[in-house]
Amino acid sequence: MTLTAPSLAGTYKLRAMVSYVGGPDISFDSFEVTTAPVSEENATSGGDSGGGGGGGITGKTIYEIKDENILSGIIQILKDGEKVKFNTIQKRPYGQIKSEGHSLEIVDLQLDKVTIIIYPESVMITLKIGEGKKLDLDSDDFYDLYVRLEKIENNKAHIYIKSIYENVTDITPLSETENKTAFANETISGTANEEIPSETTLSNDLKNTLSSISRLLSSVVTSVGKSISSNKAYFIIGFSTLIILIGITHLIKIILRRHRVVKKGKQKDVAVLKNVIGKGVYSENGDYIGKVKEVSLENYKIHGWIIKLEKMTSKKVGKNRIIIKPGRVKSIGKIMIIKNGVIKHLEAIARLSKSKKLKKNKSAHK
């Protein structure tokens, strides 16, 4: 393949695509032309370079979507290789923020699906007819864009594009009362599907067992009193003693259940989560966040990790502790790594909360 240099100076993107049995493979790169080259042929003919050999960087149609249309949603019709420019409008609680410009390009158009690339992030997705995807373009744990392939007709893709602002981070600051519901220093299973006996259930079992033993003792005393003059008294005492011993054994089992987990599956599949307590917590880019303080349980499953924030982070978000759900944890080894954008999201919540307090104080002074 022969590439001919662009006739104008500027920044260009080069896209290469090859199709094989496993499907299409796409690669792209950027380059800059500072001085437009002029060949002798171009100087005499004045025509565009390029032409044969399947090469050459050719101009494609570029459309543009207005802000009001991208906000309400619009269907853009594009051919293979065509591109559309737009801005994402983020409707945040503390005001509208317009992001940097984006562009969407069709790089592979087939009968029932289309592959697109969104710049400048170079996010590539493939959509089938009727399929839509939400995209977090700036990795701040908020969806910025929704794209859906409506149909493919006459070698043109009808793509629905809408700017959105939806939270993808599943984290919540902990209140003081919520901290009390977390279970610390317990040996529990690391698999979310494994059942853990609740404290309420165990407490009820204890009460029921003690009540049964009490009724049994009362019955024994009554029976012994009535039968003390007969030969049956010894039999009743022996039999009742056996029943009481069985009850005590059951009571001991219930007490022991308070310190273990009802495990499902093999022992080798069970992780001891208390070993995670105290581990350092870092973001994907290496920022220190704090330490794992506790693990929170809900409906017999792991609800989230309670993180005690380090001082600087705590000041930024206005909280000493937060709870992060398992979906926001990238990995746990010698340290815990959480997804980028978590702290940014918490800072946004803190700013909103602070703004509300200021407005409330101003209203009170008036």
Domain boundaries, the chain: 1-58, 60-168, 199-257, 268-360
CB atoms within 10 A of CB 200: 8
293 in Cβ contact with 308 (< 8 Å): yes
Secondary-structure class of domain 60-168 per CATH: mainly beta
Pairwise pLDDT comparison (321 vs 141), residue with the higher score = 321
Confidence at 136, pLDDT banded by 50, 70, 90: confident
Q: Is pLDDT of 270 > 60?
A: no
Burial of 29 (0-12, 13-18, 19+ CB in 10 A): exposed
- The chain-wide mean pLDDT, for the chain, equals 70
Q: What is the distance between the alpha carbons of residues 243 and 198, in angstroms, rounded to a whole number?
A: 28
Confidence at 320, pLDDT banded by 50, 70, 90: confident
Pairwise pLDDT comparison (90 vs 120), residue with the higher score = 120
Secondary-structure class of domain 268-360 per CATH: mainly beta
Q: Please report, to the nearest 10 degrees, the dihedral formed by the alpha carbons of residues 261, 262, 267, 272 taken in order.
A: -20
